Amino acid sequence: MVALLQLIYLSFLSKFHGKQQRYRYSELFGSSGSKTKGTQPEKNARKERLRYSLSTDLHLQFQAMIMAREPKSDEVFVLPAFEIRHDRKMPATKPELVQLYQVGEVRPFYEELCPRCQVPTNYSQWVNIHVRGGAPLEVSYWLTWVDPWEPFYIGPRSVPLYDEGFKQYGFNRISQACELHVAGYRFSVLNSAFVVHRGFKIQGEFHAKKDKENKQNRVLFRSFKEGLKTKYPSSSRSLLLP
Ligand SMILES: *[C@@H]1O[C@H](CO)[C@@H](O)[C@H](O)[C@H]1NC(C)=O
């Protein structure tokens, strides 16, 4: 289900007409014109939205940012991902988030279950970028994908889609991020935008078949990476895949 959160597309108000074709709302923001309305993916996405929270005004701030600077066609914007203790109030701004982070009420997403999955985001760097109130949203630093990073990002419609071969648990988000990398995308980390998952992800809370599914998908991921070498024959990045 987390897979649904991978791609966040934005729709723009009519005054941004030129760009409207290239970005549209998706699951995290809640889509009104979604083709999948009422279907299971749509319901799952709605359920998922309740468990994730975005920094306040992200939509407006993002619009302002891309009006000021046209995104590159091979650029996606990373939102560092966190998780918060169940009963705590979701932080709305980066200073609020950082305060909770410093006392351990908020921590990197998946820190306990798969620290390597998020660590490439470089949390210490991000947390140390101070953002004054009212400062515009902008790119702070750029990252290159490393296995098994699974960032959350805002991207254009044109990004490669998921491989639907990844069913059940594991490697869906990683595989898609890996393909972006091979296809030549850059990952631009936003200075003050973030996503927070309600509740700490802990061992033992998953369904019984999770480990088996994960093992199957690990094998699938290996062949997926082989497939990328064929799909992007001229990409120097595909040759370096682990
Ligand atoms: C994170 O960023 C800091 C500051 O730029 C840098 O010194 C450090 O090497 C980075 N850590 C990783 C794991 O990339």
**Domain limits for position 138:** 2-239
Measuring from atom 10 of ligand 1, which residue has the nearest CA? 122
Report how far ligand 1's centroid is from the alpha carbon of 114 (Å): 19
Question: Residue 132 is which amino acid?
Answer: R
Report how far ligand 1's centroid is from the alpha carbon of 188 (Å): 15
pLDDT at 224: 86
pLDDT at 71: 92
pLDDT bucket at 174, cuts 50 / 70 / 90: confident
Full-model pTM: 0.80
Measuring from atom 5 of ligand 1, which residue has the nearest CA? 125
Residues 17, 6: Cα–Cα separation, whole Å: 25
144 CB under 6 A from ligand 1?
Answer: no
Percent of the chain at pLDDT exceeding 70: 76
Across 33-42, 104-113, 127-136, the highest mean pLDDT is recorded for 104-113
Measuring from atom 6 of ligand 1, which residue has the nearest CA? 125
User: For the residues 93-115, what does the mean pLDDT come to?
Assistant: 94
Report how far ligand 1's centroid is from the alpha carbon of 120 (Å): 9
Total domains present in the chain = 1
Distances (CA, A) of 40 to 11, 35, 44, 157: 22, 12, 6, 22
H-run or E-run covering 62: helix 58-68
125 CB under 6 A from ligand 1?
Answer: yes
Q: Which residue has the higher pLDDT, 216 or 67?
A: 67
Measuring from atom 11 of ligand 1, which residue has the nearest CA? 122
Q: What is the mean pLDDT of the chain?
A: 79
